[in-house]
Amino acid sequence: MFNTLLLDVMVIPKDDPVAFTFFTGYMAMLAASVFFFFERSTVDDKWKTSLLVSGLITGIASVHYYYMRDYYVSTGTNPTALRYIDWTLTVPLMCVEFYLLLKPAGAKASFMWKLIFASVVMLVAGYIGEAFVPMNSDGTAAAGASTHSFMWGAISTVGYIYVLYSAWFGEAKQLAASSNSSAVQSGIQALAWFVLAGWAIYPIGYMCMPGGWLNTGLGWQPSSVDLFYNIADAVNKIGFGLVVYTIAKAESAKTAVA
């Protein structure tokens, strides 16, 4: 019986940084979720929902990372489906954060739904392009893989560009400018940087998949981006939440002084 229990113990390869970041990403996002939930009681009521959503984002991600770490350690392969399940839930919630932060400045529900729709288009098209790429029986990309990858990647990029444009030049930027709050303005600017720089790792990873430009042109493999996916997920999700937390605390402090 003792030997059987030993066989069930998960072994983390000591020379595998990807496995290491799966485990640390899980714990980091779980800890962040606990932090955001507890900190809700320290901010004004109008910011509590924002912190709740921040906690949900990192909480959902931590659950998926719990399963993804086991999947990776057991198979050594990229858990594509699990990643997209996570992103399909958490990325629209990150878009909801824009609405919640800008609601006091006049953001309407239509603004939120446009961002959510764009993010869903980005993710669904990305999943189709990555998960259903034509493959040969030997595991290599089949004829038409590049066309498939490019077509769905282009559709996905349209959704991404819409969110990016809104954050930097469009409705989100304009609402922040009219908010008369330096905390909101600087916070939305920080979130815009996350969308530009932090989210950029995901299309790069997409192009590393079979049929993608970086895969066919430079030979980059899916396994080479798991490390960056894990780091980017933790930084983006926790970072988004910390920006929201900073805005909520700063605005709540103004109310306390008044």
Q: From the centroid of its chain, how far is CA 134?
A: 26
Return the minimum-mean-pLDDT range out of 44-58, 99-113, 133-147, 162-176: 133-147
- Report whether pLDDT(44) > 70: yes
Q: What is the mean pLDDT of residues 38-64?
A: 97
* Contacts with 158 (C-beta within 8 Å, 6 or more apart), sequence order: 118, 121, 122
Return the minimum-mean-pLDDT range out of 13-17, 26-30, 104-108, 146-150: 13-17
DSSP code per residue over the chain: -HHHHHHTS----TT-HHHHHHHHHHHHHHHHHHHHHHHGGGS-HHHHHHHHHHHHHHHHHHHHHHHHHHHHHHH-S--HHHHHHHHHHHHHHHHHHHHHHHGGGT--HHHHHHHHHHHHHHHHHHHHHHHT--B-TTSSBPTTHHHHHHHHHHHHHHHHHHHHHHHHTSHHHHHHHTS--HHHHHHHHHHHHIIIIITTHHHHHHHTSTTSHHHHHH---GGGTHHHHHHHHHHHHHHHHHHHHHHHHHHHHHHHH-
Residue 129 · residue 80 · CB < 8 Å: no
The number of C-alpha atoms within 13 Å of 90 and in the hemisphere containing its C-beta is 28
Quick one: pLDDT at residue 222?
Answer: 63
Quick one: pLDDT at residue 225?
Answer: 82
Quick one: pLDDT at residue 249?
Answer: 97
Among residues 84, 148, 151, the alpha carbon closest in space to that of 119 is found at 84
- Report whether pLDDT(132) > 60: yes
Backbone angles phi, psi at 167, to 5 degrees: -70, -35
Q: How confident is the model at residue 244 (pLDDT cuts 50, 70, 90)?
A: very high
Quick one: pLDDT at residue 212?
Answer: 75
Residue 80 · residue 89 · CB < 8 Å: no
Hey, CA dihedral for 204, 210, 216, 220, is it positive or negative? positive
Residue 160 · residue 94 · CB < 8 Å: no
Q: How confident is the model at residue 1 (pLDDT cuts 50, 70, 90)?
A: very low
pLDDT, one tens digit per residue, over 192-217 is 999 999 999 898 888 887 777 777 77
Dist. CA 23–CA 32, nearest whole Å: 14
Quick one: pLDDT at residue 5?
Answer: 47
The number of C-alpha atoms within 13 Å of 109 and in the hemisphere containing its C-beta is 0
Percent with pLDDT over 90 in the chain: 72
Q: How many CB atoms lie within 10 A of CB 174?
A: 14
* Contacts with 74 (C-beta within 8 Å, 6 or more apart), sequence order: none
Dist. CA 121–CA 117, nearest whole Å: 6
Class of domain 2-257: mainly alpha
